[in-house]
Amino acid sequence: MIKESINFKEAGKFEETRFEKIHNVIFDSSQEASVLVAQEIANIIQRKEELNEPCVLGLATGSSPIKVYEELVRLHTEEGLSFANVVTFNLDEYYPMDKNNIQSYWYFMHQHLFDHVDILPQNVNIPDGNVNIEELQQYCIDYEMKIKAYGGLDFQLLGIGRTGHIGFNEPGSHVNSGTRSITLDHLTRQDAASSFLGIDNVPRKAITMGIGTVKNAKRIVLLGWGISKAEIIKDTIEGEISSRVPATYLQQHNNTTFVLDTEASSELTRVKTPWLVKSVIWTEELKLKAVAWLSELTKKPFLKLTDKDYNDNGMSSLLTEEGTAYDLNIKMFNKMQQTITGWPGGKPNADDTYRPERATPEKKRIIIFSPHPDDDVISMGGTFDRLVEQGHDVHIAYQTSGNIAVSNEEALKFAEISRALNKNSSESENIINFLKNKKANDIDSLEVRKLKGVIRRSESVAATRYLDVPDSNVNFLDLPFYETGTVKKNNLGEADIQIMCDIIERIKPHQIYAAGDLADPHGTHKVCLDSLFEALKRLKHKSFMDDCWVWLYRGAWHEWESYQIEMAVPMSPDQVLKKRHAIFYHQSQKDGVMFQGDDSREFWVRVEDRNRLTAEKYHALGLADYSAIEAFKRYFF
């Protein structure tokens, strides 16, 4: 049965600090948090039902609320929650936008919620992206008046954009703004680019409820998941109220809760630098985090930090525990120093007490899992090269086909080559016809998807051959969850996990490398990581797993913090070039890829910068000066 009342404070991690101006609760996972938010909504619906009143909900779209809607649907189908008394108002819609377009918020809401519950169609209100431009202003006034006529919103669910928008109230929005049309910020359009298959297809305008409309809600819950939201969450919760970050206006609302996962909360002062706000238990990881932070703040290497530096920056309790700055500095310096190794597979015949990897067995069996066919070389090309060079038995497993990231033009080129070589091929002819007549919203035919997958396979094999891996060690797993032909993927299924278990059981690896990106909790990398974690859980009891160590690398988007790094593999300038060439084999992903994210640089440029930056950070902490470093964190299962 649905729980009576939700106590977010008890369920998550909650401690108010003098820095924070909005009540917020942190959960280990967005899944766990979403279930509680759905329960709160269900409670309001039921309370209103008992009073025989309509329950007026303000709803959001985007990736953030998806799990809340999933749970509401479950509560409806499995626990009898009825939506018969529910009236909904959605925050926004692109403009212009046809409701049947798969990118419309109308489509999204029906796909995720309305088609699966017993809400009356006439009680669903979503701004109409097809309204005539001349009627738009009156339409918005009417939308606003309709909410008022229902007595206002009982509950408003929000996500937050990286611009600080709520709804589509972009920076500059007025605190008292009502429903209106708005021009979307460039960053917002960039963030939407992947679902529209390119920024050029993202509408420039939208209709949105105003800040005033949202603030009149009796209760507001804002969801924030993933590292990409961490900065804006901090600015919103700790910053001054300003139209530059419209979400800060929520500081004036007295019944708002921000529900966050660990990554989204990671920039909050109480999370990032807890020693500044309260007395802390100094774990080994926290000590290193604090000393690295202090070193960055004071721009001094570890070995030059003084007692005064520690005392002036809220870390005197650490000094008390450790004795003097001198002892602590040396201890932390050694700790970082011990992460550096040119022998990622372990150094043969060496004392490995303080090395990141074991010396034996000398030749290890290794699986490098790569979510897309290119993350292996982008994220760990240098380490990959060393592992092969040092004689380990390296197997690559590309988890997904990566087919949707191949452009139509690229696919057409190959289909035309295939037709030229193979004159009677009806398959090539079909593909060419399909691609030439493809409309913006069309999902690729199976043949086209197959061709796009083959293009990525050939590129991958070219790159692995360049790094001297035998073809027989290259595996394409084509995990089924990915094969929807669209940006939206299926949930992880039994078949995916079985494929992961099978390859681990077959190779019995001593080392596994995998992408540990948590940048986007709904992205492919996260699902691929979850598939590995689940496989590890299932195989854990097998004896060969006792010898298996797992190392997580991070993709093109985000690097480990220096205090998190447990293995740092330096690269020579020549190796940096070799890595660059390996990345170049992935030609379909060069020159303006389809899923660029918010960084317009090509992957090889981004990753070179990132590897150089990691090396610079090590150097700034007082360690040796390398050209580039690839970084890994061990995962214990």
Q: Known catalytic residues?
A: 170
Question: Which residue, 161 or 509, has its beta carbon nearer to ligand F6R?
Answer: 161
Greatest Cα-to-Cα distance within the chain, rounded to the nearest angstrom: 81
Nearer to ligand F6R, 92 or 376 (CB): 92
Q: Tell me how far, at minimum, the Cβ of 503 lies from ligand F6R, in Å.
A: 32
Name the one residue in this structure whose structure tokens are 């969850």: 481
Least distance to ligand F6R from the beta carbon of 61, Å? 4
Backbone angle region of 622, left / alpha / beta, with phi > 0 → left and psi within -120 to 50 → alpha = left
State which residue, 64 or 103, has the beta carbon closest to ligand F6R.
Answer: 64
Q: How far apart are CA 598 and CA 232, in angstroms?
A: 15
Q: Stretches 160-168, 291-299, 491-499, 561-569: which one binds ligand F6R (CB under 6 A)?
A: 160-168
Residue with tokens 């493809």: 438
Residue 61 phi, psi (nearest 5) = -115, -165
Binding span for ligand F6R by CB under 6 A among 158-166, 211-219, 388-396, 559-567: 158-166
Q: Which of residues 84-113 bind ligand F6R (CB under 6 A)?
A: 91-92
**DSSP β-bridge partners for residue 25:** 259
Q: In this chain, which of 12, 96, 127, 161 binds ligand F6R, going by CB under 6 A? A: 161
SS3 (DSSP) at 166: strand
- Label residue 625 exposed, middle or buried (CB < 10 Å: 0-12, 13-18, 19+): exposed
Of residues 157 and 431, the one with the C-beta less far from ligand F6R: 157
Stretch that binds ligand F6R, among 165-173, 354-362, 427-435, 442-450 (CB under 6 A): 165-173
| Contact by Cβ (8 Å): 218, 255 | yes
Q: Chain centroid to CA 464: how far?
A: 27
Q: Which two tokens stand for residue 47?
A: 């309370």
Round to whole Å and give the CA distance between 193 and 597. 8
Q: Which of 48, 67, 165, 364 binds ligand F6R (CB under 6 A)?
A: 165
The footprint of ligand F6R on this chain (CB under 6 A) covers a number of residues equal to 14
Residue nearest to ligand F6R (CB): 159
CB of 161 to ligand F6R, least distance (A): 4
Q: Among the candidate windows 1-9, 48-56, 155-163, 585-593, which touches ligand F6R by CB under 6 A?
A: 155-163
The nearest distance, CB 212 to ligand F6R, in angstroms, is 15
Q: With respect to ligand F6R, which residue has the nearer C-beta, 165 or 392?
A: 165
Q: Judged by CB, which is closer to ligand F6R: 61, or 173?
A: 61
**C-alpha to C-alpha distance for 482 and 412, rounded to whole angstroms:** 22
Smallest distance from the beta carbon of 158 to ligand F6R, in angstroms? 6
Question: Shortest gap between Cβ of 37 and ligand F6R (angstroms)?
Answer: 13
Backbone angles phi, psi at 124, to 5 degrees: -95, 120
- 586-615: which residues touch ligand F6R (CB under 6 A)? none
**CB contact set of 559 (below 8 Å; sequence gap of 6+):** 610, 613, 614, 631
Q: Enter the DSSP assignment of 432.
A: H
The three-class DSSP label of residue 222 is: strand
Distances 601 to 53, 528, 590, 596 between C-alpha atoms, Å: 54, 25, 10, 8
Closest by CA to 239, choosing from 154, 160, 314, is: 160
* Distance (Å, whole) CA 311 – CA 487: 51
166 versus 396: smaller Cβ distance to ligand F6R: 166
Tokens of 128: 């109409």
What is the closest distance, in whole angstroms, from the C-beta atom of residue 66 to ligand F6R in the complex?
A: 8
Instruction: Provide the minimum distance between the beta carbon of 71 and ligand F6R in the complex, in angstroms, as a whole number.
Output: 16
Q: Compute the radius of gyration of the chain from its Cα atoms.
A: 26
Q: Site residues for ligand F6R, window 125-154 (CB under 6 A)?
A: none
> CB neighbours of 338 closer than 8 A, spacing ≥ 6?
354, 355, 356
Task: Assess 521 for contact with ligand F6R (CB under 6 A).
Answer: no
List the interface residues with ligand F6R, window 44-83 (CB under 6 A): 60-64
Which residues, including other chains, have CB under 8 Å from residue 372's CB and lie 6 or more apart? Answer: 398, 399, 400, 402, 405, 456, 524
The residue among 158 and 340 lying less far from ligand F6R, judged by its C-beta, is 158
Q: Which residues pair with 221 in a beta bridge?
A: 157, 257
Least gap, CB of 92 to ligand F6R (angstroms): 5
* Exposed / middle / buried, residue 239 (Cβ in 10 Å: 0-12, 13-18, 19+): middle
* Rounded Cα–Cα distance for residues 528 and 249 (Å): 37
Among 636, 621, 628, 582, which residue's Cα sits nearest to residue 604?
A: 582
Cα 88 → chain centroid: 29
Smaller CB distance to ligand F6R: residue 213 or 575?
213
Residues 6+ apart with CB under 8 A from 209: 58, 89, 91, 92, 143, 144, 147, 167, 178, 179
Which residue number, 42 or 60, has a Cβ lying nearer to ligand F6R? 60
- Taking the complex as a whole, the smallest distance from the CB of residue 622 to ligand F6R amounts, in Å, to 39
Binding segment (CB under 6 A) for ligand F6R, from list 41-49, 164-172, 337-345, 475-483: 164-172
> In the range 266-285, which residues lie near ligand F6R by CB under 6 A?
none
Q: CB nearer to ligand F6R: give 87 or 160.
A: 160
CB of 105 to ligand F6R, least distance (A): 6
Tell me which DSSP letter residue 592 carries: S
| Rounded distance between C-alpha atoms, residue 256 and residue 606, angstroms | 38
Residue in 35, 166, 507, 615 binding ligand F6R, rule: CB under 6 A: 166
Among 12, 159, 345, 373, which residue interacts with ligand F6R (rule: CB under 6 A)? 159
Point out which residues bind ligand F6R (CB under 6 A).
60-64, 91-92, 159-161, 165-168
